[in-house]
Structures are given as structure tokens and as C-alpha cells.
Amino acid sequence: MAKKRKGLIEQLKALIGLEKEPELMGAMCYETHMPSFVTLKCDQCGMEKEYDQFLMTEDDEIIATVQQIQALGYDAKVLRTCAACANKMGFKYKDGTPLLDSVMYCIFYFKNKGQAEYHVTRSEDPDDYKAVLAFLKKEDRFYDRNEALHWVADNKEEIKRMTGITF
Ligand SMILES: [Zn+2]
């Protein structure tokens, strides 16, 4: 009996040893994703934090699209916002859960011509911004970030949500 139990403990130790093998874990990590960190500052509260670049949204594309919206004469801006600020502003995931701290969020501010207050929404999807830009340029279609062509009319709901414009 005692011998059998000792054998089992040895087996368990070997198993734990194998699972903790750092080289094995390291090799797996390198295969899938090599972490690379960037320090980003929240545009709302100024807090700086390190983020895993792999988890970042396509912010540069969003910023470039918003610059094109501004060039059309619209008062628009996008603020890269930390989870704490975005949660304070009342933004949530679609299922109603609070936003996680691991990524930054893009808060879009838009004023239609003659509008006094900003319409404020959250979107980290560059295609939402591309749809808005095409709509404001009175174009009927646009290319998404994968070079796929979309009809502006098919994105009515996103455009309404992003701009507050009803049409
Ligand atoms: Zn913040």
C-alpha cells in the first residue's frame, strides 16, 4: 500500500515538473505571439500605461479617417481612452459588461453642421469610421480595411449610431 502511494507521488511530481517546464511554455509563446509592449497615454485623464501591441485596435487607421472627416469641415475628433474613463462615461460591451483594462478604447465625438453638442460614441472598428466618411462625402460605397466593397446604405445603422444623424 505504502509503496503504491509513493509511486503515485513520484508520478504526480513528474507530471507537475513537466507542466512547469519553462522552455516548453516559452517555445509555445514564441510560436503564436511574441509580446511587444507600447506605452500609451489616455487622451481623457492623461494616465500612461503599457499595452500589448498585439491587442491594440487599428487606431492609426481610425485617426486618419477622422482627419479626413475633419477635412470635410466637420467638427469631429477621436480620443483614445482608457477603460476607467470609458466606463465612467457609461460605455460597455454589447453584452452589458464593463470594458476591460487590457486595451484602449476609441471615443468618437461628432457634431453635425449647426449642432451645438457633440454626439459621443465608442467604436474601435475602422470600418465604422470609413462608412461615416463615405456617407459625409455623399458616396454610395466604400472599401473596408480588407479592400472589400460595401454599400453605404447597408451601413445605415452604424452611421446613425456614430453620428446621431437620422436619415
Ligand atoms: Zn483615462
pLDDT digits (tens, 9 = 90+) for 114-143: 899 999 999 999 999 999 999 999 999 999
**pLDDT mean over 87-110:** 95
Is a pLDDT exceeding 70 seen at residue 7? no
pLDDT bucket at 75, cuts 50 / 70 / 90: very high
pLDDT digits (tens, 9 = 90+) for 12-57: 666 655 554 445 555 555 556 677 889 999 999 999 999 988 777 7
Q: How far is the CA of 155 from the centre of ligand 1 (A)?
A: 30
Q: How far is the CA of 82 from the centre of ligand 1 (A)?
A: 4
CA 41 vs. chain centroid, Å, equals 15
